[in-house]
Amino acid sequence: MLPNISALLIDLDGVVYRGEMALPGAADALATIDALGIARVFVTNNATLTTDEFSAKLTRMGIAAKPNDIVTSSEATAAHLREIAPSDSTVLVIGEEGLRQALASRGFPIVDAQPTYVVVGLDRNLTYADLARAAIALQRGAQFIATNADRALPVEAGFWPGAGAIVSALVTTTGVQPTIVGKPQPTLLRVALNRIGASPERAAMVGDQIESDIRAGRAAGIHTIWVDPGTAPPPDDVTPDLRVADLSELAALLRARTNHRDAPDAP
């Protein structure tokens, strides 16, 4: 597959960094990928930050990234909701500034009671009262939208509960199942492909989570590259097109491909 790849869609958490620390070699690997002329865009289920904030975070780590280089699940969620929601819809939000700003920029009033939609993302300031308000709204007929269903958030020390843990609490309480917008659904990846003008057959999704990243790549019809976290083998029903230990190994493979392709024919 590597000879055909001209664009990479790269997950952030667990691939480029954990928490506030870049993973070893990530910055150099991304610089190599840029030098090889391979288009890249970051795609993340993390809806807590705005693209400006993600850009600033990556820049602090020595990684070149403009806001337009990042596609978040909050952006995809707001765009999806704008397509399906009546014009007078309101939203109750469990989530942080990235999600709130994305919804507000699409013209959705954010309310605390009687919403048309309950929209849930990762919220590290979550309270029991927040869950209770959302649960009551769902029981009264509000539609349930989730930015993603990631069970865990990779951080320096291990894993924290992800947006999926919050979603599961509300499903357990109410029995209402959400519409999920982020990975493993293909919406994020399709937005990213359009952003960089890449065709699916020449693109690959790079991620560390089989259940979200690799399944999303398959759903979007693109190649898949698994950054193996070394914790467990992939399930039997999923086989990534390529397995690497980290971005450094991927960059080395891509550089070797380019060197081989550019080498003169042997006599």
Residues taking part in catalysis: 11, 13
Q: Distance between CA atoms of 130 and 99, rounded to whole angstroms?
A: 15
Residue 38 is encoded by which pair of tokens?
A: 């391979």
Residue written as token pair 């930015």? 147
| H or E segment to which residue 205 belongs | strand 203-207
Contacts of 130 (CB under 8 A, 6+ apart): 94, 123
Q: Using alpha carbons, list the distances in angstroms from residue 225 to 3, 15, 205, 255.
A: 14, 11, 6, 16
Q: Distance between CA atoms of 245 and 258, rounded to whole angstroms?
A: 20
Contacts of 214 (CB under 8 A, 6+ apart): 205, 207, 224, 226, 234, 238, 240
Q: Using alpha carbons, list the distances in angstroms from residue 114 to 102, 143, 146.
A: 21, 11, 18
Partners of residue 93 on adjacent β-strands: 119
How large is the angle between the packed helices 26-35 and 247-262, nearest 10 degrees?
20
